[in-house]
């Protein structure tokens, strides 16, 4: 595992380099987009339960822990990426508040329990099951919770998938984020 260019941008672990698995093609959320996401989420992160799907390097979930989230569950299918997340959690001192599940989304959702205040969904932009995964998240979103769905800027995500509704969408170059709330949400 290499500690590369990817670093935590805020909170108690600010500046910490994240472990990145060698030999795997990952598309980590850019620093600009990550910073924008956390500016939008603001105080909603503090004390929250976070779910990071298609976690890759774990940058979003670890950033959330650094900014005060109470816990984070990372779901990733690649073994080397899971190891990199575990290494980064240890480096940051978040081993007790982070849990890594190796599995493919949406099937891995069956192993989850409880609700999450913040859900990050960052599938590969060409992943054909992205809308299915998004639609399956409704039962896992706590009342008032938020789903942050990162996708390609040319793609128009659904307005109301599976018990969620889109609050807003922002574009950052080739990337975009759509923010969803549960039907009971804000």
| Domain spans in the chain, listed from the N-terminal domain onward | 2-182
Q: What's the pLDDT tens digit per position in 112-168?
A: 999 999 999 999 888 888 999 999 999 999 999 999 999 999 999 999 998 899 999
Provide the pLDDT confidence category of residue 23 given band limits of 50, 70 and 90. Answer: low
For residue 30, is pLDDT > 80? no
Instruction: From residue 134, give the alpha-carbon distance in Å to each of 7, 70, 115, 131, 181.
Output: 27, 23, 15, 5, 12
- pTM beyond 0.95: the answer is no
- Tell me how crowded residue 14 is: count the other CB atoms within 10 A of its CB: 12
Check: CATH 3.40.50.150 for 2-182? yes
As a whole number of angstroms, the distance between CA 185 and CA 129 comes to 25
């Amino acid at each position: 595992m290499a500690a590369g260019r990817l670093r935590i941008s805020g909170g108690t672990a600010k500046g910490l380099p994240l472990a990145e698995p060698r030999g795997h093609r990952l598309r980590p959320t850019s620093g600009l987009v990550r910073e924008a996401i956390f500016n939008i989420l603001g105080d909603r992160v503090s004390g929250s339960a976070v779910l990071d799907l298609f976690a890759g390097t774990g940058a979003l979930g670890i950033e959330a822990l650094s900014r005060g989230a109470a816990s984070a569950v990372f779901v990733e299918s690649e073994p080397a990426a899971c190891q990199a997340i575990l290494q980064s959690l240890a480096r940051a001192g978040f081993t007790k508040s982070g849990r890594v599940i190796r599995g493919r989304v949406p099937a891995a959702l069956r192993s989850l329990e409880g609700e999450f205040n913040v859900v990050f969904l960052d599938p590969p932009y060409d992943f054909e099951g992205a809308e299915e995964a998004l639609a399956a998240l409704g039962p896992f979103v706590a009342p008032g919770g938020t789903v942050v769905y990162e996708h390609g800027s040319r793609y128009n995500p659904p307005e109301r998938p599976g018990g969620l509704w889109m609050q807003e969408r922002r574009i950052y170059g080739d990337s975009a984020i759509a923010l969803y709330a549960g039907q009971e949400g804000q």
